[in-house]
Structure 1
Amino acid sequence: MNNILGAKISTRRFDLLKAYLYIGTAIASSFWLVSFYIDSYYLRFLFTICVALCFASLYFLYRKPRIARLIFVIDYFITVIVCTPLIGKEGMFDIFYGFYFLLITLLYSFRKEKVHIITFFSLTTVAWIFLISWNYFGINIAEIDTENASTYFYPITFLGNFIFLSSTLISFAQKNERYTRIVNEKKNEALKILKLKNIFLNAINEEIREPLNSIIGLTHVLKDNNPRKDQEEYLKSLNSSGISLLELFTNVININTLESKKVSIKNRETNLNTLIENVIQIHKTACSQKNVNLIAKIDANFPTILIDHVRYQQILNNLVSNAVKFTNEGEIILEIKILRKNKNKIVFSTNVIDTGIGISKDKIDVIWQNFTQASNSTARLYGGSGLGLPIVKNIVRSMGSDIQLKSEPNKGSHFYFELTANIAKTSKLRIRNIAKVKKEEITVIQELANKKILVTDDNKINILVLKKILEKENAIIDEAYNGLEAVEATKAKKYDLIIMDLNMPVMSGEKAIANIRKLDKDIPIIIITASNSYDLEDFKNQNISYTIRKPFVPKELLQNIKKAIST
């Protein structure tokens, strides 16, 4: 029975059926009254049945609309087919029969009710041929003469059809206008919620990063003060938890940024050799702890290129971090290959290959979804938020490419993508071979002993962390708790380096840097900030050495400080 009745009727089709029924009932009732006037028994009998079926259909309209539709369709077909021969040969208009029959198909969904539409189309074709043949051979009952047809039946039919079509068009136009208004209201509401969410996340970004910086920084400080073995384990767990929380929060911020607006790609001159060295430095400790070799390969004579180095390094960090997480032995290879190159452009591939647990083919599509991993057991065993790879996919697409994955369970995974970049005009070629990473220490570029460093931050714990890290290197540390104090201190004393926070009371870091540059154009300045809204490019006219995000890793901070003082 359900097959005959068809699928559930949508709101639009229900309104169309309602219009059909009201107009059809009005026309049939008018014809029924006319049949009394012209004293036609046949018409009276026919339209009595027709009107009865129309009212039966109206009865079911709000109760069981699919039954109402079926009754109306049967009534409609019978009326058109039976009425036509009554008009007579001279009054027939064959071309409109197909139009009348095909109107019925509008009551059915092409996507869900193709069988019904095909059936009615076939019936329409047969009925049309039948009526044309009837007209051709002149077989008719001629119950309605041409004069009555012209006086009563044609005007009623045309008027009814005109009212039906115009009212339907007006109704649909009004509905479209209402739906458009509702959609726009919902869209504006969603945009407002999205804006509030972004404001909220940006607001708590610094509020979370500041205490995390204190937690992670103090664990490093305590670890360097010869703790007992049991204390060392506690500190390791505390540091690991802090880093995990930071990674989760950073990924949430990143995925929110990527999904809420189009990613802005800022191409700048980039030496991939240096960039890859930075990636290796970040992940070498984790690889060393798992006894996994981290290998970097880049083709010889790879030129300096124009690329968004921040986004590209974010891709590499997430891919390598993912590989480290799921690789317990063997090696991880980060490989950059030149595919094609001419004077101005280069096409190169980026490959991250590991010997980890791998992924089955049926799970490959799943891992690109937010907060999703290959399985629940994977999430329990290896942890992670399930956001790293979706972030990678979003950024790679924003850079005009798409990331691919080849993987086999228990054999490993191979992530790869291609990028096209312009070659920098000032490109300096640099030969780079394989770099194996084990338990290496950072090369000391310059000792910090007796170097005078001004640390500026409105958070006392952050200053404490920085002081402990730098005093261990025998540096001489002065403190400033806002931008104005930093400017006054610079006037009074010559420093080898200034560490500057940005969001501070009294005077912001930005204004302080501008004032300090009026006093000393060459003093190295390193910005340490919890904000995501700043980049080194924002301070290109202020000669800033480095911009470091909180929370920072002490070894990386020291490396950048030593580089800044050396240059």
Structure 2
Amino acid sequence: MKENIENAKLEYFHKRSQYIVLDADGKVTSSCNTIFSPPTDISLYTLIPFLEGMQSSFVALEPGKNLRFLCIQTKLLDAEGYFNFIFKKQEGGSIIWFIYDFTEFYTYLLPWQQERNERAIESEQLKLQRKADALEKQLLQYQNRELQRIQEMKTVFFSQVSHEIRTPLHSLVGLINLIEPYNTPKSRTYIEAMRSVSHHLSSIINDVLDLSKLDAGEIQLNTYAFSLRETAEKLVHAFLFQSQEKQLKLYYELDPALPTYLQGDEVRLSQILYNLLGNAIKFTSEGEVQLKISMQKKEDERVRVSFEVIDSGIGISEEGMQKIFTPFVQANNDIHRYYGGTGLGLSIVQKLIQLMEGELQVESKEGVGTHMKVSLPFRIAEVVEDQDILQQKDVELRHIKHALIGEDDLMNQKVLRLFLQQKGIESTVEENGAEVLKSAYDKTYELLILDYQMPGLNGLEVIERLNQEGNQKPVILLSGNLQMSQQLPERSGSLTFVLNKPLQPEVLLHKLQLIDYFLEPAIDLQYLHKITDGNHELFADLLSTFLQQAPQELRKIKKAYAAEDIAALYKAVHKAKPGFQCICSPRMKSFLNLFETKIEKSLRTEQYADDIQLINCWLERAISEAKLQQTQYSPKL
């Protein structure tokens, strides 16, 4: 059996191999002719190109040595295929040439090898694709980081420029408010002119900042109840003087089918309509401007309202219609020359409408007029009018007698000092943050009023240092950055308010009033002494109940406020108030009553941030003082 296998192997390989002996000139001296039949009278060096190229190698080859070439694709006279060659040199210079024909094997292996190569290529392509995808992802991440960085730079730039512009504007508005009580019929015109200029400058600054924040996605809608009629009347009244000067007819129509109160962001709605009405009056020299508000659709608790601003002004060309929503661009070059403006209004309007999930349609014809239609969704609300009870002009400030002002601008220093002086508050000025820190511990000062952009340490850095050093004096930070309140560090046991520039006297007065409440003694235990009638154990038990429940009630108030749930906020304040009032001072009782009433009459939550901060800081002090009293009356506890 084994012999048969060996013979089969020999026969198999014999058919696929050949033995040839070549002399030094390349002529065949011996051959078994199993693959091809070479001639004996002609040199194979001249017949087979492969051998012709090897002739010099054979001369240099040492006797007894051999050369191997595997899987050579070539033609051997009448045989073509894939061959293995072995050349061995003899002592006389002759060459023994062994040929092995692997054409059959290679033909068999070729499809498999091709498939294997294709799989390898696909695998490499997949790897390359993955690398390409990874690089593309890295590129997108880099682009996003760069866009974010650019946006942050824009925001910082706009905020800084805004602050620098608002500083002189703050002085201008402050002076107007200070001199207004002393004006005369003759000076009243100039005062109104200055106020108009300041409002115009302020609106430009707000437009630039709003566009930056809208692009960065930083503007969020605040939902609360408002009267649509009151909103429309305020807007029309704001433009009455301007329309009368141009002898334009300005009026509005309100669909009686609309609900009395809607729930939405009245500030952003007013901003949209203010821009549209302002443009309509600006570009209309004769005729009329009309605001039409009508019901588009009502479904359950929701309503879709249409706001149409129609004018008989200069109109917009087809080419101009393509440009009017591009920031800093107006319909044509003559618009800015004759009418002024930044070209931001309609760009902001469009972005706000998109943010409020609304639609905007524009129809216009040159020389005839423009019709702009805004469609916005709202929820229906059932509330009574909102009254801001705490903001009163005649406010009694019992505890603020002397304030420390950190401000380097001379005009702002004078405006602040004059205002405080009118309220019976003396003031001292320091022009940089380092000097403010030195003076902040003087017991003379009950309050610090700091400008954000002070030389050296800025206002935020001063507040952080006060925190680190345990200084709990209340602070009012003046800033042109409307988002500054979000950057304030937390202050345990003290108040920190942000006052946006330009200064509004009633807003500053409200913050001073809250600080004055805070400076009251935290607790007044006369009521508890009266109802316990000398029973120390009962007295301590009531204090213990307060200490246990008060933090829980405060957490409910904060949670409702954070969720912008006015119903839950009113419920939490109403429930917490009796417990708080058992130990607080009479003025804090009054504040809590007013605060509850204010919440009851409004669905607007964001305006209560300062009030809740006051409650939080007061409660921290009240708990600390109540614990001392509890220990005094019940030492075992």
TM range (shorter): 0.5 to 0.7
Query: Kindly tell me: are residues 219 and 267 of structure 1, through their superposed partners in 2, closer, same or farther at Cα, counting changes over 3 Å?
Result: closer
Question: How big is the shift at 1:424?
Answer: 1.0
Residue number in structure 1 paired with 2:289: 332
Q: Secondary structure at the match of 1:414?
A: strand
Seen in structure 2, the aligned counterparts of structure 1 residues 36 and 300 have a Cα distance that, compared at 3 Å, is same
Partner of 1:114: none
Structure with greater helix percent: 1
Question: In the TM superposition, what whole-angstrom CA distance separates every residue of 1:181-220 from its partner, at most 9, and x where no partner exists?
Answer: 2321332233233234323433443332231132355478
Q: Which amino acid counterpart does residue 318 of structure 1 have in structure 2?
A: N
1:317 paired with 2:270, answer: no
1:372 aligns with 2:341: no
Deviations 1:119-170 (A, max 9, x none): xxxxxxxxxxxxxxxxxxxxxxxxx98754223x324433432332222221
> Distance between the aligned counterparts of 1:214 and 1:385, measured in 2?
24
Q: Partner of 1:283 in structure 2?
A: 239
Q: Which residue of 2 aligns with 1:395?
A: 352
Please tell me whether residue 35 in structure 1 is matched to residue 9 in structure 2.
no
Letter in 2 for 1:515: I
- Match in the other structure for 2:139: 182
CA distance in 2, matches of 1:149, 1:240: 94
The one-letter code of the counterpart of 2:74 is F
Quote the residue 2:107 is aligned against.
149
Q: Distance in 2 between matches of 1:326 and 1:485?
A: 56
Change (3 A) 1:333 1:146: farther
AA aligned to 1:190 is L
Alpha carbons of structure 1 residues 340 and 246: separation in structure 2 relative to 1, 3 Å:
same
Once the 2 structures are TM-superposed, how far is the Cα of residue 40 of structure 1 from its aligned partner?
Answer: 8.2
Give, in angstroms, the shift of residue 457 of structure 1: 10
Partner of residue 353 from structure 1, selected from 310, 314, 317: 310
1:487-506 matches, within 5 Å, as 502-503=476-477
* Residues in 1 aligned to 2:332 and 2:145: alpha-carbon distance in whole angstroms: 37
1:391, CA displacement in angstroms? 0.7
In structure 2, the CA distance between the partners of 1:488 and 1:287, relative to structure 1 (3 Å rule), is same
Structure 1 residues 205 and 517: alpha-carbon distance in aligned structure 2, compared to 1, 3 A threshold:
farther
Q: 1:376, CA displacement in angstroms?
A: 1.3
Q: What does residue 516 of structure 1 align with?
A: 516
Partners in 1 of 2:272 and 2:290 — Cα distance? 15
Paired AA for residue 286 in structure 1: Q
- Report what 2:463 is aligned to: none
Query: What CA distance in whole angstroms lies between the structure 1 residues aligned with 2:107 and 2:220?
Result: 71
Among 356, 379, 383, the alignment partner of 1:422 is: 379
CA contact (8 A) 1:335 1:351 kept: yes
Question: 1:368 is paired with a residue of what secondary structure?
Answer: coil
- Partner letter of residue 166 of structure 2? R
Distance of 2:363 and 2:328 partners within structure 1: 21
CA distance in 1: counterparts of 2:211 and 2:137, whole angstroms: 30
Matches within 5 A, 1:101-500: 148-151=106-109, 153-215=110-172, 218=175, 242-261=198-217, 263-300=219-256, 302=258, 303-341=260-298, 344-426=301-383, 458=405, 461=411, 477-479=423-425
Whole-Å Cα distance in 2 between the matches of residues 340 and 329 of structure 1?
Answer: 34
Q: For residue 172 of structure 1, what is the amino acid of its counterpart? A: Q
Structure 1, 358-367 or 267-276: larger mean CA deviation: 358-367
Cα deviation per residue 1:495-549 (whole Å; 9 max; x = unaligned)?
xxxxx99415997446855432355466899xxxxxxxx95243465899xxxxx
Aligned to 2:556: none
CA distance in 2, matches of 1:508, 1:294: 44
3-state DSSP of counterpart to 2:256: coil
Cα deviations across residues 26-53 of structure 1 (Å, max 9, x unaligned)?
Answer: xxxxxx9753168789999xxxxxxxxx
> Paired residue for 1:443?
none
Distance 1:373 1:33, change over 3 A: farther
CA shift in 2, pair 1:348/1:292, >3 Å: same
Query: Which residue does the alignment assign to 1:15?
Result: none
Aligned positions, number: 369
Q: Against the structure 1 CA distance between its residues 290 and 399, is the aligned structure 2 distance closer, same or farther, given a 3 Å change threshold? A: same
Q: Write out per-residue CA displacement over residues 238-276 of structure 1, whole angstroms, 9 at most, x where no aligned residue.
A: 766654443322111000111101542221011112222
Evaluate the alpha carbon distance shift between residue 339 and residue 219 of structure 1 in structure 2; reply closer, same or farther with a 3 A threshold.
Answer: same
- Superimposed CA distance per residue, residues 273-305 of structure 1 (whole angstroms, 9 cap, x where no aligned partner): 222222223322222222222212212364111
Q: Closer, same or farther in 2 for the Cα pair 1:504/1:216, shift >3 Å?
A: closer
**358-367 or 394-403, which deviates more:** 358-367
The DSSP-based 3-state class of the residue aligned with 2:382 is coil
Q: Which residue of 2 aligns with 1:558?
A: none
Q: For the residues of structure 2 that align with 1:485 and 1:43, how far apart are their CA atoms?
A: 108
Aligned-residue CA RMSD (Å): 4.7
Q: Is the 8 A contact 2:276 2:309 kept in 1?
A: yes
The structural deviation recorded for 1:307 is 0.9
State the percentage of identical aligned residues.
23
Of 604, 607, 610, the residue aligned with 1:536 is 607
Once the two structures are superposed, residues 56-94 of structure 1 have per-residue CA deviations (whole angstroms, 9 ceiling, x without a partner) of xxxxxxxxxxxxxxxxxxxxxxxxxxxxxxxxxxxxxxx
Counterpart of 1:334 in 2: which secondary structure?
strand
Post-superposition CA distance 1:422-466 (Å, at most 9, x none): 2113368xxxxxxxxxxxxxxxxxx98xx5787999567458669
Q: Does structure 1 conserve the Cα–Cα contact (< 8 Å) formed by 2:495 and 2:613?
A: no
Measure, in 2, the Cα distance between the counterparts of 1:311 and 1:411. 29
**Alignment CA distance shift 1:368-1:513 (3 Å):** same
TM-score, with length taken from structure 2: 0.49
**Structure 2 unpaired stretches of 5+:** 1-69, 83-101, 386-391, 429-439, 449-473, 480-493, 499-510, 521-586, 596-604, 616-637
CA contact (8 A) 2:395 2:513 kept: no
Q: Secondary structure at the match of 2:73?
A: helix
Q: Please name the residue that 2:562 is paired with.
A: none
| CA distance in 2 between partners of 1:365 and 1:465 (Å) | 46
- Report the CA distance shift for 1:278/1:461 in structure 2 as closer, same or farther (over 3 A): farther
Closer, same or farther: CA 414–487 of 1 in aligned 2, 3 Å = farther
Q: 1:329 to 1:427 in 2, by over 3 A?
A: same
Tell me the distance in 2 between the aligned counterparts of 1:236 and 1:512: 27
What's the offset of the Cα at 1:481?
5.1
Q: Distance in 2 between matches of 1:470 and 1:288?
A: 38
User: Any conservation in 1 of the 2:225–2:381 contact (CA below 8 Å)?
Assistant: yes
- Distance change in 2, residues 1:339/1:36 (3 Å): same
SS in 2 for 1:385: coil
1:396/1:403 contact within 8 Å kept: yes
Structure 1 residue runs of 5 or longer lacking an equivalent are: 1-31, 45-143, 429-446, 490-499, 526-533, 545-567
* Distance (whole Å) between structure 1 residues aligned to residue 186 and residue 75 of structure 2: 112
Structure 1-normalised TM-score?
0.54
Q: Secondary structure at the match of 1:319?
A: helix
Structure whose residues are more often strand by fraction: 2
Compared CA separation, residues 277 and 411, structure 1 to 2 (3 A): same
The 3 A distance-change label for structure 1 pair 201 and 304 is: same
